[in-house]
């Protein structure tokens, strides 16, 4: 097994939208890839689209749970559904379910969507890092990928990026290998001028690109009887369009910085 790497994901879908290409490439390179999910992402207003009280431009027709055969979602059932989506997406990227770790299992408290603190993120990263290194003695430094600490507006995303930054400042040897991803809405953001080492990560081959497109499909999966509600696409279809080939003519890519 290759050198370990941890991708820290604020909410289900951030891994595919921000780092899908990078995750698939690390798997292809034989790296020991772990994903740390911080929250179930249950505060999203897109729940009203599934429940029929809000129009979804992506779906283009109103939902009617009674007709379509499901109970309206609440925050609990939404959380369960979103975990199904990220597990399916990670499988497409080449990461099995036993390599998806939940912050709440590691730190004993569940960070809530929109309320992730820097301290919670650091604690979860350190806890997972200990576990990963114990399983891989002598495997070398662990890579750490998180959302950008600067180029984003979401506080969960920023705090996780800042957690990585702080870990790097506190122990530059252990955390020498850090990367930050920028999600599509900020690909032309002025704050990009404040970060260093910017680069596009494009798929090395067609199969890698296809893996990212397939991960997107997990978030478009409509199968209410199986508890799959295409939540990702109901929530941020525009962002997925940048990854699934709809508006990105050259296929998926990631914008990363150091």
Q: Does residue 111 touch Zn ion according to CB under 5 A?
A: no
Nearest alpha carbon to residue 46 among 85, 9, 78: 78
Q: Closest distance between Zn ion and the C-beta of residue 42, in Å?
A: 12
Q: Which residue has the tokens 């506190």?
A: 170
| DSSP alpha helix (H) spans, 101-256 | 103-107, 118-135, 155-170, 206-218, 231-241
Contact flag: residue 11 with Zn ion (CB under 5 A)? yes
**Contact status, residue 64 vs residue 51, Cβ threshold 8 Å:** no
Q: Which stretch binds Zn ion (CB under 5 A): 11-19, 26-34, 54-62, 106-114?
A: 11-19
Q: Are 132 and 165 in contact (CB under 8 A)?
A: no
Q: How far is the CB of 125 from Zn ion (least distance, A)?
A: 17
Least separation, in Å, of the C-beta of 120 and Zn ion?
15
Nearer to Zn ion, 10 or 203 (CB): 10
Closest residue to Zn ion using C-beta atoms? 11
One of 10, 18, 20, 252 touching Zn ion (CB under 5 A): 10
Return the residue of 14, 15, 32, 152 that touches Zn ion, per CB under 5 A.
Answer: 14
Token pair in block for residue 3: 């050198």
Residue 31 Cα distances to 5, 103, 149, 170, 222, angstroms: 7, 22, 24, 25, 32
Smaller CB distance to Zn ion: residue 4 or 44? 44
Hey, which residues between 51 and 70 contact Zn ion (CB under 5 A)? none
C-alpha dihedral over 167, 170, 173, 174, to 10 degrees? -40
Closest approach of Zn ion to the CB of residue 38, in Å? 9
Closest approach of Cβ 113 to Zn ion, in Å? Answer: 8
Query: Which residues contribute to the site for Zn ion (CB under 5 A)?
Result: 10-11, 14
């Amino acid at each position: 097994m290759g050198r370990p790497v941890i991708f820290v994901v604020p909410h289900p879908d951030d891994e595919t939208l921000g780092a899908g290409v990078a995750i698939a490439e690390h798997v292809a390179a034989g790296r020991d890839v772990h994903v740390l999910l911080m929250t179930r992402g249950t505060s999203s207003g897109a729940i009203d689209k599934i429940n029929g009280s809000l129009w979804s431009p992506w779906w283009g027709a109103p939902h009617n749970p009674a007709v379509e055969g499901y109970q309206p979602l609440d925050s609990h059932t939404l959380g369960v559904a979103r975990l199904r989506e990220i597990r399916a997406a990670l499988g497409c990227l080449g990461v099995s379910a036993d390599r998806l770790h939940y912050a709440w299992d590691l730190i004993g408290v569940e960070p809530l969507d929109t309320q992730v603190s820097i301290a919670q993120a650091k604690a979860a990263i350190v806890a997972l890092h200990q576990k990963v290194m114990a399983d891989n003695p002598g495997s070398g430094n662990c890579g750490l990928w998180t959302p950008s600490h600067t180029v984003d507006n979401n506080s969960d995303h920023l705090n996780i990026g800042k957690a990585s930054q702080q870990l790097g400042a506190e122990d530059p040897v252990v955390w020498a290998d850090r990367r930050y991803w920028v999600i599509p809405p900020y690909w032309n953001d002025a704050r990009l001028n404040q970060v260093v080492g910017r680069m596009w990560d494009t798929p090395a081959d067609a199969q890698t690109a296809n893996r990212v497109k397939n991960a997107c499909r997990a978030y478009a999966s409509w199968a209410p009887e199986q508890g799959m509600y295409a939540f990702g696409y109901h929530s941020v279809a525009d962002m997925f369009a940048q990854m699934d080939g709809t508006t990105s003519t050259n296929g998926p890519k990631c914008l990363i910085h150091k």
